A and B are shown apart, each in its own frame.
Chain A
């Protein structure tokens, strides 16, 4: 599979700030997924997007499936210290393996 372009690579922000990260691909995907991984743990699914243009929220998290089907973004509003971790985007088509971004490392200071 291909490695997706995920940016930024890392972010260092203060508690309460909003965060935005995005992911782009050279090919089209039918599904975009956003995961969070804590050190020594497996990735945990945050949001799944199945339709181009779809905007989905999960608490303070909001993600969108780009119209071109080649990109997606994740926003975190009013960040808190427990948001610290590595966020991965992933694109996939039915029955195929996930194509991951390199991850965005988020650090939040109180």
Chain B
């Protein structure tokens, strides 16, 4: 149980284009989903927290107009990187917590490698 999937697993795009990443909880309802980015050999950095049906809460320094988050259902959240630039290249990971395990426990997706040319 507690499986989280992400799609795509990797994406290469041109500078200026937008990219959408999906995060799904496959066997439980995710009341809260989190989006992280991770640079090589570093820990995960929280970008935003989203609760189903409400606006996401962004961490300081994360542009909400650039990283659009939608959590429209209890099993799906999307992150759209708008007008992507090379500095947005990173490993993006989502996590979900909800009806599987304790509410504090987060289960992570496999990550999406974004490369912006």
Check B108–A44 contact: CB distance below 8 A: yes
Within 8 Å CB of A3, what residues of B?
43
Decide: A40 and B111 in contact? CB cutoff 8 A.
yes
Q: Is the CB of B104 within 8 A of A31?
A: yes
B26 to chain A, nearest CB (A): 14
With both chains docked as a complex, state the minimum distance between the C-beta of A2 and any C-beta of chain B, in angstroms.
11
Instruction: Tell me, rounded to whole Å, the shortest Cβ–Cβ distance linking A23 to chain B.
Output: 12
Q: Find out whether the CB atom of B46 lies under 8 angstroms from the CB atom of A48.
A: no
In the bound complex, residues from chain A placing their C-beta under 8 Å from that of B108 are 35, 42-45
Assembly CA distance A92 to B103 (angstroms): 11
- Point out which of A31, A41, A43 has the most chain B C-beta atoms below 10 A from its C-beta: A43
* Inter-subunit contact A43/B104 (CB<8 Å): no
Known: A33-B106, A100-B44. A43 touches B93 (CB 8 A): yes
Type the 1/0 row for A28-40, where 1 means its CB is closer than 8 Å to any CB of B. 0011010100001
B interface residues, tally (CB under 8 Å): 25
- For A66, the chain B residues whose CB sits under 8 A away are none
Once A42-B110, A48-B102, A92-B104 are accepted as A-B contacts, the answer to whether A97 and B46 lie under 8 Å apart by CB is yes
Task: Find chain B residues with CB under 8 A from A92 CB.
Answer: 104, 106
Give the chain A neighbours of B46 by CB distance below 8 A.
Answer: 1, 97-98
Residues of A within 8 A of B93 (CB): 42-43
**A98–B6 contact, CB under 8 A?**
no
- Bound form: Cα–Cα A43–B43 in Å: 10
Q: Which of B42, B49, B104, B110 contacts A41 (CB under 8 A)?
A: B110
**Which residues of chain B from 24 to 53 have a CB within 8 Å of any chain A CB?**
32, 34, 42-44, 46, 49
User: Which residues in chain B, 77-117, are within 8 Å of chain A measured between CB atoms?
Assistant: 91, 93, 95, 101-111, 113
Interface residues of A (CB under 8 A from B): 1, 3, 30-31, 33, 35, 40-45, 48, 50, 88, 90, 92-95, 97-98, 100-103
Q: Sort A-B residue pairs by CB-CB distance and give the 6 closest, nearest first.
A: A42-B108, A31-B104, A42-B111, A100-B43, A42-B110, A43-B108
